[in-house]
Structure 1
Amino acid sequence: MIRAQVQPTPTGAILFDATAVQHVDEAWFEPAHWQASSTASTQSGGRGGVVFFEAPFGAGVLRHYRRGGLVGRLNADHYLWTGRRRTRGFREFTLLAQLHDAGLRVPAPLFARYVREGLRYRADLVTRRIPGARTLAERSLAGDVDAALAARVGRTLAGFHVRGAWHADLNAHNVVVDGAGEIWLLDFDRGRMRPPAMPWQQANLERLHRSLAKIGAIKRLEGFDARFWHPLLAAYHRVLADRAARGDAP
């Protein structure tokens, strides 16, 4: 179980898992710290400025929250201050901890930080790295998908949905297959818990399908619907039907 504690800083605060570390050095939120460390390796990319590193407490992923689209050109990484609990990093840490402790496959949160600047703040999040991870986007474009994988993805998504876990940006880059073939979901920024309901659950699935179309996976993989999407939906709805037959409460 994750044990969240708050550590004040001169310019904000850090939320961390006290079962993983006893305290957090603010330098751990700086890519340059890991790039200069002899015990660490780094790799950067993506809108969020992701950095992969190795540390004494394990393999981690550092993400700096950045805005995308047109807004991001004018304001790269500042957000309106509305309270500590509502900062991007603290909210995602709290949700990931809840999902992790419920047995769902999400990256375990290690620590989150906000740096306040008057009515604005910047934020960062560090999670544990998933070993051997490849995104569904990567596997789809490589043709490395089949009905068995689709069924695992469908069952995993259903497991999140029946518990009311809503992903704000469910796409093929945020669905990950680890080295053992298990399915994980990444990036719960802006996600939240909500009562299970088919309209938002269906919208989540449609968003994933659109992302697969956007990256060209559907066109590249012959018979995509029959080979992958239909088995995914069948497994997804089977979980929901089995749960309903048992009379399980959300």
Structure 2
Amino acid sequence: MVESEICERENGVALLVHPDYQGRVTAAWFDPGYWGDSAEPVSSGGRGGAWFIDADGTGLVLREYRRGGLAARISRRTYAFAAERDVRSFAEFRLLMRLVAMGMPVPKPVAAKYRKVSPVQYQAAIMIERLADTTPLADLIDCLDNDGWYRLGQVIRRFHDAGVRHADLNCFNVLVRDGAFYLIDFDKGCIMPDQANPRWKRANLDRFARSLRKVADEAVQRRVWVSFMNGYNGSHTD
């Protein structure tokens, strides 16, 4: 357990709450309807089920956990319950708490929730602080210069050197603000053990390259990849 987290339970719902939000967050915060006009659906990336929230002047993001692919045909929002420590919202909350403590460029977690809908199934959601005035990398691919791609490579290398594996490194999960880069959506992410085979880093980079090709095209991916990998490897070209 992260030392500073607050665990609360009410009406069959379990919550993890950041100490800064203790006494404020309730299970109702995870209902978009509770916020009325202060909840705005997120339009870019993901599978839906995310909202920008204005909580009395504090910008938040509420995201429900939803399945994609074939699994969504069976149940889009329900996951198998094994143990509370494995609940996806709790795992992501705790990972973000660690990453914030490490000084990594990630959003601050606010709270995580899950509710068992049967003895072996649960539904979950997470709430984080919104990174204001950011733009998804997917919307900036044609605008980012070589120096920007170089610096992004440095950022991804920083995560990898810390053993942080992002499970879905794509152009929508990289946010940009004034030349700075942030990673979001750490569902199924983890900090790899020191003895782990380093091939996970290459797989992470390959996933990001596929995202670039999908959002832009192969020619664009090849063009920006040299600067990106120079930044990642700490090398320079004239």
* CA drift at 1:48: 4.3
Give me the whole-angstrom Cα distance separating, in 1, the residues matched to 2:109 and 2:216.
32
Give 3-state SS (helix, strand or coil) of 2:70's partner.
helix
Of 39, 42, 46, the residue aligned with 2:40 is: 42
* Runs (5+) with no aligned partner, structure 2: none
Give me the whole-angstrom Cα distance separating, in 1, the residues matched to 2:137 and 2:217.
10
- Give a deviation string over 1:44-82, Cα, whole Å, max 9, x none: 444141100111371100000001011102201101111
* CA drift at 1:216: 2.5
Matched, 1:104 2:100: no
Give me the whole-angstrom Cα distance separating, in 1, the residues matched to 2:102 and 2:115.
30
Give 3-state SS (helix, strand or coil) of 1:32's partner.
helix
* CA drift at 1:132: 1.2
* CA drift at 1:34: 1.6
Give me the whole-angstrom Cα distance separating, in 2, the residues matched to 1:2 and 1:19.
14
Give 3-state SS (helix, strand or coil) of 2:229's partner.
helix
Give 3-state SS (helix, strand or coil) of 1:148's partner.
helix
Give 3-state SS (helix, strand or coil) of 1:19's partner.
helix
TM-score (normalised: structure 1)? 0.86
* CA drift at 1:15: 0.2
- Verify the 8 A CA contact 2:173 2:184 in the aligned structure 1: yes
- Tell me what 2:228 maps to: 232
- Tell me what 2:129 maps to: 128
Give 3-state SS (helix, strand or coil) of 2:25's partner.
coil
* Runs (5+) with no aligned partner, structure 1: 240-250
Letter in 1 for 2:230: A
Percent identity reads 33
- Verify the 8 A CA contact 1:137 1:217 in the aligned structure 2: no
Letter in 2 for 1:29: F
Aligned residues, how many?
229
- Tell me what 1:146 maps to: 145
Give me the whole-angstrom Cα distance separating, in 1, the residues matched to 2:49 and 2:3.
25
TM-score (normalised: structure 2)? 0.90
- Tell me what 2:183 maps to: 185
- Verify the 8 A CA contact 2:13 2:115 in the aligned structure 1: yes
* CA drift at 1:151: 1.3
